[in-house]
Amino acid sequence: MSTYTLYGAEFSLYSGKARAYLRYKNIPFDEVLSTAAIYKKIIVPKTGVKFIPVVKTPDDEYLQDTTNIIDQLEVKHPEKSVYPTTTKQRLVSLLLELYGDEWLLIPAMHYRWNHDNFPFIYQEFGNIINPKIPGFIRTFLGKKIGNRFKNIVPMLGITEKTIPAIEKWYEQGFLADLDHHLSKYPFLLGNAPCIGDFGFFGPLYAHLYRDPYPGKLMREVAPNVVAWVERMIDASSVEGEFLENDEIPETLVPILTNLFDVQWPVLEDTANKLSEWYTRETNDIHLEQPTAIPRKLGMHSFTIGGIQEQRLVLPYSQWMMQRPLNLYHSFSSKEKREIEPLLKQINGLYAMRFDLENQVSRVNNQFVIA
């Protein structure tokens, strides 16, 4: 089998997701640290964007965005698929990926930048300039780069107002719920990782396990999550199956309920804001070319733990939201009846009936409305 190349970094959230997937699927790959030189010579010229990870295929194709990478590789390497084929498990796996990719970004960014992870994290960022330069220079340069990411933290709604609510939700809610689930099952849907496991793994590994402060916290309060992270780092030998009879464990209900109670209103408002922007942008004129979408669309309100704050409107989130939503709308009447009790239980039935006015697509690694 030909070898792939992963351009990423250990401290990168989404690199962790792609790396774990490649290992689980036993897809041979070499990893190249995405230094400044790699960005300049390979990543930007080959993809047109400045984001990692990037996977180079044996056919010299450069894939960007972890969800796109995984979907492309699932076609070429269908064995040990991370997508369940049954109705409830397929939908739940996509919902969990959405939650991991988009919502667990909040604690990941908070615990990295608002707690004492220094100079560790500055050293990590300094490596992308040149891992061979002296440590004190790496720290200096890494701080300059890292501060760009730190400055994004308040824009995600992580402020003095919301931090107590974020920490209470993560430590006493999400982490406790996930630890309880993983005390009974090795992965989210049984004895093999689904796409949701990989969505969770990105933030839970790169930020919340590896960084000193949240890593210590995880080891103290969530030993089963730690064990799961360590299983996911290299699950190449796992040959298990998803739970039989399309079962969704009761232990996932609190996490799925939180998704619909707290994350879903943000997603719906994001879709509405994007629709309003598109209407203004096109002014009802028929366009033959797709309309490029900006990465950010102003600010909107959200609520966590009863605390209201402002955060960026991120159109990318709609692209991830579409995956479970479009799947649900593709179900037959019989399949919808089968999944209705679960959706009622997790406060998701009304949410899954949400009607998107515009579909977001990826064209040449850019997001557009066709």
For residues 29 and 133, membership in a common domain is answered with no
pLDDT of residue 127: 86
Residue 167 CA to residue 190 CA, distance in Å, equals 28
For residues 38 and 136, membership in a common domain is answered with no
Look at 97-101, 304-308, 322-326, 362-366 and tell me which has the smallest mean pLDDT: 362-366
Strand residue runs (E) in the chain: 4-8, 29-33, 54-56, 62-64, 291-292, 299-304, 307-312, 360-363, 366-369
Q: Which of 76, 97, 125 is the last residue of a domain?
A: 76
pLDDT digits (tens, 9 = 90+) for 249-271: 999 999 999 999 999 999 999 99
Residue 166 lies in a domain: no
User: Per-residue pLDDT for 286 more than 70?
Assistant: no
For residues 137 and 69, membership in a common domain is answered with no
Mean pLDDT of 9-24: 96
CA distances from 164 to 1, 167, 304 (A): 50, 5, 10
Query: For the chain, what percent of residues have pLDDT higher than 70?
Result: 98
pLDDT of residue 288: 63
pLDDT of residue 133: 79
Number of domains observed in the structure of the chain: 3
Look at 101-110, 125-134, 198-207 and tell me which has the smallest mean pLDDT: 125-134
For residues 258 and 362, membership in a common domain is answered with yes
pLDDT digits (tens, 9 = 90+) for 25-80: 999 999 999 998 999 999 999 999 999 999 999 999 999 999 999 999 999 999 99
Mean pLDDT of 131-149: 83
What is the domain range of residue 263?
252-369
Residue 244 lies in a domain: no
Q: Which of 48, 76, 104 is the last residue of a domain?
A: 76
CATH of the domain at 34: 3.40.30.10
Provide DSSP, 108-148.
Answer: HHHHHHSS--TTHHHHHHHHTT-TTS-HHHHHHHHHHHHHH
Residue 227 lies in a domain: no
Mean pLDDT of 188-196: 98
The closest alpha carbon to 235, from 187, 189, 190, 279, belongs to 187
pLDDT of residue 128: 84
Residue 240 lies in a domain: no
pLDDT of residue 1: 59
Between 144 and 195, residue with greater pLDDT: 195
Residue 197 lies in a domain: no
- Inter-residue contact 346 to 260 (CB < 8 Å): yes
pLDDT of residue 144: 86
pLDDT digits (tens, 9 = 90+) for 88-103: 999 999 999 999 999 9
For residues 67 and 125, membership in a common domain is answered with no
For residues 62 and 129, membership in a common domain is answered with no
- Inter-residue contact 192 to 241 (CB < 8 Å): yes
